[in-house]
């Protein structure tokens, strides 16, 4: 049994904690440039349709009362470090997905022990850090993440072992990892709208719809997910990716997301005392075609600007402005233990 922890509206939560006058108001954390995008929106702003990765001018149009707070990334990284310290106490492995999200394995098979751990972590984050975190407890990664999503904000959802398929069955099929809008449309055409209906598909129909990945998706739909929580201390690469609620077409908006992902990657590299030499970018288009590009740096680095510049060059080779993108990710590989940095002569 593992836990998926997700800090609620992280950047916005930190700003509200630091300035209680913002509590209860619709706020967005975003830059001030003409092409700025929303990094995080408070829960009060979300009913208006304000969401992350949305251009700020659209967010202002949807919510005229929106309060825009400039981001303080070094501050968020420091808060994230404090939260992850709490995640790691008593854990066998912590797999960070971003600054505000992680899978945690405490090497316990019984549900009660893992739930008690999740409760203690949530209470400590609330009392010691001053923000809230939601948690999902389950036997697999996907189910634990879906569980935490169902109880946000500030909730704890538990899927006992043996009940995974029943938990997933009534949920929309789009909640499955790997099922996007176009796949949902194909499934709807044959009357499949719920995960339970997807889990009942036969091999022939799965292959017609998804090829060789069909059976893997069906296993997830049935609640079978045996992927382990990876400990980044032993990882050969570190990556993060974001699936957008709506396709992103503008190259400038993708660059803004890439910059934030570079910061997230660096926080994880520094947390485990490693640097990386190979930077790569992954794109999934609206038609599910995946494109990836990578480049090798002259020296191992954990500098966010160096990683961002390399990732931006990779993105320029992979994306044409106007092509809809549903997922963007960044990866840094060839990790080495941190040491005194050797500066280039030039």
The catalytic residues are 101
d(CA 199, CA 83): 37
Q: Distance between CA atoms of 67 and 60, rounded to whole angstroms?
A: 9
3-state percent helix, strand, coil for the chain, nearest multiple of 5: 40, 25, 30
Vertex 145 angle, CA 195 and 87, to 5°: 165
Among the listed residues 85, 83, 129, 92, the one whose alpha carbon sits nearest the alpha carbon of residue 113: 92
Alpha-carbon radius of gyration of the chain: 20
For the four alpha carbons of 65, 40, 52 and 311, in that order, the dihedral sign comes to positive
Query: Torsion over CA of 94, 83, 139 and 219, rounded to 10 degrees?
Result: -80
Which string of DSSP letters, residue by residue, matches 11-22?
Answer: HHHHHHHH-GGG
**159 contacts 145 by C-beta, under 8 angstroms:** no
Q: d(Cα 56, Cα 54) in Å, to the nearest integer?
A: 6
Residue 324 token pair: 């809809």
CB-based contact 175:255 (threshold 8 Å): no
Of 162, 313, 294, 292, nearest in space to 223 by CA: 162
59, 38 contact by CB (below 8 A): yes
- Asked whether the beta carbons of 124 and 262 are under 8 A apart, the reply is no
């Amino acid at each position: 049994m593992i836990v998926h922890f997700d800090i609620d509206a992280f950047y916005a939560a930190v700003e509200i904690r630091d300035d209680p006058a913002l509590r209860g108001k619709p706020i967005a954390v975003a830059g001030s440039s003409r092409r700025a995008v929303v990094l995080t929106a408070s829960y009060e702003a979300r009913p208006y349709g304000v969401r992350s990765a949305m251009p700020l001018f659209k967010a202002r149009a949807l919510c005229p009362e929106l309060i825009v707070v400039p981001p303080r990334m070094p501050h968020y990284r420091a808060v994230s470090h404090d939260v992850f310290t709490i995640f790691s106490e008593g854990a066998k492995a912590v797999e960070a997905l971003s600054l505000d999200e992680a899978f945690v394995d405490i090497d316990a098979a019984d549900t009660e022990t893992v739930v008690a751990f999740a409760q203690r972590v949530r209470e400590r984050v609330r009392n010691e850090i001053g923000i809230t975190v939601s948690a999902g407890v389950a036997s697999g990664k996907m189910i634990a993440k879906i569980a935490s999503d169902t109880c946000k904000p500030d909730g704890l959802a538990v899927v006992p072992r043996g009940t995974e398929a029943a938990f997933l069955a009534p949920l929309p099929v789009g909640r499955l990892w790997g099922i996007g809008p176009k796949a949902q449309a194909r499934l709807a055409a044959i009357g499949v709208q719920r995960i339970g209906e997807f889990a009942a598909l036969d091999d022939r129909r799965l292959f017609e719809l998804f090829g060789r990945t069909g059976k893997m998706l069906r296993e997830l739909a049935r609640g079978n997910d045996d992927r382990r929580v990876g400990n980044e201390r032993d990882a050969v690469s570190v990556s993060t990716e974001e699936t957008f609620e709506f396709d992103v077409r503008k190259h400038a908006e993708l660059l803004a997301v890439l910059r934030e992902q570079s910061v997230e990657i660096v926080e994880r590299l520094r947390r485990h005392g490693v640097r990386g030499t190979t930077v790569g970018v992954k794109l999934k288009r609206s038609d599910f075609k995946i494109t990836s590009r990578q480049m090798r740096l002259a020296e191992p680095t954990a500098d966010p600007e160096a990683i961002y510049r390399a990732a931006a060059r990779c993105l320029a080779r992979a994306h044409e402005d106007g092509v809809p993108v549903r997922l963007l990710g960044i990866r840094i590989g060839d990790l080495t233990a941190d040491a005194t940095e050797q500066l280039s002569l030039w």
